Structures are given as structure tokens and as C-alpha cells.
Amino acid sequence: MIEVIAEMSGSIQGALGCLGAAIGVGLVGSKAAEAVGRNPGASGKILVQAIIGMALAEAVAFYALFL
């Protein structure tokens, strides 16, 4: 019985970590699109910062799945 509970709690932890990463990537993407809409000339710099932000948000999902 304890093994089943341990597996379920690990699955919940991984699911919540991936959910948090998905929300973070969505927020970064929406704010990047908003920033490009306000200042199209800075789209290159905004894209670089958005990709870095998305990569850091996705790292959270990997930590949740593997730890």
C-alpha cells in the first residue's frame, strides 16, 4: 500500500511541476508578444530574452520529473 501512495505522490509532484512550467512558458510568450507589439524594432532582443526565460521555466519541469 505504501508503494502505491509513494508512486501517486511522485506523479502528483511531476504533474504540478510540469503545470507550473507550462504556465510560465505561456506567460513569457504572451508578454513577449505584447512587448513586440509595443516596440517592433526591439523584436530581436525580446526574442532572445523570451527564449532564455522559456528555457529556465522548462528547467523546472525537468527538476520536478527527475527529483
Q: pLDDT of 1-19, one tens digit each? A: 777 777 777 788 888 889 9
- Residue 14: the pLDDT is 84
Instruction: Give CA–CA dist 27/25, Å, rounded.
Output: 5
Domain ranges, residue 6: 2-66
CATH number of domain containing 60:
1.20.20.10
- Total structural domains within the chain: 1
| pLDDT 10s digits, 10-62 | 788 888 889 999 999 999 999 999 999 999 999 999 999 999 999 998 888 88
What is the predicted pLDDT for the residue at 63? 86
Rounded Cα distance, 60 and 15, in Å? 11
